[in-house]
Amino acid sequence: MSGPESLLPSSRARRAAEMEELLAAVAALGRDLLAREEELPGGAARDPGQLAAALDLALPDAGRPLAEVMARLRAVLLATPSSSSWRFVNQLFAGREPAATAAAMLTPLVNISMYTFKAGGAQILVERELLHRMCAAAGFTAGEGAFTPGGSFANFLALVLARNEALPGARETGVAGARLVAYTSAEGHYSVPKNAGLAGIGRANVRAIAVDGRGRMLPEALAAAIAADRAAGLRPFFVNATAGTTVRGAFDPLGELGDVARAAGLWFHVDAAFGGSLLLSPEHRRLLAGSERADSLAWDPHKMMGVPLQSSVLLLARRGLLARNLDESADYLFQADPDELNPGRRSLQCGRPNDALKLWAAWQRLGSQGWVARLGRQMALARRAAELIRSDPELRLAEEPPSLNVCFEVRGRASDAVCDRLDRDGLLKIGHGIVAGRRTIRLVCSNADLGDADLAEILAEIKAAARALPPGDNAVAG
């Protein structure tokens, strides 16, 4: 069953047998990957040219036996970083919830699209249950939601909905001649200006609003910018607040910003792609106080909740907005069941992968109480990392961590050079960013499986790499 002849047209039984063979091989490869998860690719594996040559990635003319395909898969995967390694503290996601991973592995076996109940069956009901619970967590008691391919896309959809609500004819006739203006934090996500360019708003019509010393957008600066644009004959329409900024993990004052947006009659969006999960924590949801007053909120469970990429939603405070702005007639697709059971009428996508089952499986495993415990561990881990950094004379803590991001420097060494050295040597995946005019190392404590010993080892690796480098400065010009 493993030779090239297996690629010829075959019966369902033959294909099923081939899948059985592959499932066994995948399980064995998965165990091998888990056993090697402490390692990260470094050295030659960090050189794209050398790596491409070593892996021989060329696509063949003739099909290969299954055993050879699996061997090539193994080589590629062993040259790929694992975000569940203790050595991966680079992005706003890390670690895994096993039940979610298992569900993600099983989802392609049924391989359905999430546009209709007729096609998706029980998966549509799973998604509906999740959106209902997440709307409730956000305070959107009469709301609705949609799964999206990432937080940037959720922010884009919110911007488009806001644009259409500000210009009621925009969906039919376009936005020619309208000078709409959007507002976001100077430390907000880069998707906001990118999306403005895509949505016909224009990147030049996005205002970056100043932040305070803790990285939070200033409400008074927002109000002043709105007033100035209106006086200039422009049309403010959209405020993007951030709950968990990318570098510092800061939370904008949502209540105050919501007051400004509401007084001005603007759509109020909360980009909680990173921090939205804290809505599930009675202790930490105070960081998102005021989110219930938003028109829309983006939330990525694949960040703090350990769900495999991707798992993202856009939640809306008012039911009906998605269909009003997205629904199109498609008789070949929407052939059965009420609109409520056909989420394709409320999505920018037609064919859409099942991103809900893995989140549902993790929620089944942990329960709401388990999410509280997990989020508490992550927040405590960030505080512990800050304590270790503060007490170490070789290190300088940039600020107390607002959430899971711990920003610091190695005294007398350039942060970007330290991070590059660690990456090249396959020791740590860790990034850097600017805090208060200085280049800092950004340690993200998203992996709930880390402990004190792991933090100590991470900091030891950072200091050892820094000692091997020449002196450097982290001041950022301008």
Q: Please give the chain's pLDDT, 478 residues, in tens.
A: 455 555 555 588 888 889 999 999 999 999 999 999 988 987 777 889 999 999 999 999 999 999 999 999 999 999 999 999 999 999 999 999 999 999 999 999 999 999 999 999 999 999 999 999 999 999 999 999 999 999 999 999 999 999 999 999 999 998 888 899 999 999 999 999 999 999 999 999 999 999 999 999 999 999 999 999 999 999 999 999 999 999 999 999 999 999 999 999 999 999 999 999 999 999 999 999 999 999 999 999 999 999 999 999 999 999 999 999 999 989 999 999 999 999 999 999 999 999 999 999 999 999 999 999 999 999 999 999 999 999 999 999 999 999 999 999 999 999 999 999 999 999 999 999 999 999 999 999 999 999 999 999 999 999 999 999 999 999 998 6
Q: Which residue has the tokens 């910018």?
A: 225
Contacts by 219-225, CB closer than 8 A, 24 or more apart:
219/253, 219/256, 219/257, 219/259, 219/260, 222/183, 222/257, 222/260, 222/261, 223/260, 223/263, 223/264, 225/183
Do 370 and 347 belong to one domain? no
Q: Which amino acid is at 286?
A: R
Cα–Cα distances (Å) from 153 to 36, 298, 469, in that order, read 34, 9, 40
Closest CA to 272 of 303, 302, 297, 304: 297
Of 353, 388, 414, which residue is a domain's last? Answer: 353
Structure tokens at 346: 């409320």
2 part of a folded domain: no
pTM of the predicted structure, to 2 decimals: 0.95
Identify the CATH number of the domain in which residue 211 sits: 3.40.640.10
Clarify whether residues 334 and 398 are in a common domain. no
**Residues whose CB falls within 8 Å of the CB of residue 416, separated by 6 or more in sequence, listed in order:** 432, 439
* pLDDT (0 to 100) of residue 11: 81
Cα gap 308→325, rounded to integer Å:
29
Pair (401, 345) in one structural domain: no
Structural domain total, the chain? 3
Report CA torsion sign: 349, 351, 355, 357. positive
Q: Among all chains, which residue has been given the structure tokens 């950004």?
A: 442
Judge whether 206 and 193 are in contact, CB under 8 Å: yes
Q: Which residues pair with 251 in a beta bridge?
A: 243
Please provide the distance, in angstroms rounded to a whole number, between the alpha carbons at the two ends of the chain.
Answer: 64
> Comparing C-alpha atoms, which of 295, 16, 274 is closest to residue 145?
295
Distance CA 265, CA 320 (A): 20
What three-state secondary structure class fits 397?
strand
Give the total residue count for the chain.
478
Query: Range of 393's domain?
Result: 366-467
Q: Which two tokens stand for residue 29?
A: 């490869």
Angle between helices 12-35 and 66-78 in degrees, nearest 10? 30
Axis-axis angle for helices 254-264, 219-231 (nearest 10): 20
384 shares a domain with 337 = no
Parallel/antiparallel/unpaired status of strands 312-316 and 144-148: antiparallel
Spatial contact of 266 and 242, defined as CB atoms under 8 Å apart: no
Same domain? 133 vs 233: yes
3 lies in a domain? no
Residues 376 and 348 in one domain: no
371 Cα distance to chain centroid: 17
Could you tell me how far CA 128 lies from the centroid of its own chain?
Answer: 21
Q: Are 97 and 306 in contact (CB under 8 A)?
A: yes
Say if residue 307 is in the same domain as residue 240.
yes
Residue 264 lies in a domain: yes
Q: Using the 3D structure, point to which of 80, 103, 132 is the last residue of a domain.
A: 80
Residues 292 and 424 in one domain: no
Q: How far apart are CA 207 and CA 190, in angstroms?
A: 12
**Which of 321, 353, 385 is where one domain is finished?**
353
Any domain includes 246: yes
Residue 90 lies in a domain: no
Interstrand relation of 180-185 and 206-209 (parallel, antiparallel or unpaired):
parallel
d(CA 257, CA 218): 8
Spatial contact of 475 and 417, defined as CB atoms under 8 Å apart: no
Whether 472 maps to a domain, the answer reads no
Q: Is residue 434 part of a domain?
A: yes
Do 262 and 386 reside in the same domain of the chain?
A: no
C-beta of residue 472 within 8 angstroms of C-beta of residue 411 = no
Note whether residue 92 is domain-resident.
no
Please state the φ and ψ torsions of residue 111, each to the nearest 5 degrees: 50, 60
**Residue written as token pair 């075959």:** 10
Q: Do both 287 and 421 map to the same domain?
A: no
| Amino acid identity at 446 | S
Which residues neighbour 97 within 8 Å (Cβ) at sequence distance 6 or greater? 305, 306, 307, 362, 365, 366
Cβ atoms within 10 A of the Cβ of 438, count?
16
Measured CA to CA, the distance from residue 411 to residue 396 in angstroms comes to 6
CATH of residue 412: 3.90.1150.170
Q: Are 138 and 19 members of one domain?
A: no
Same domain, 419 and 455: yes
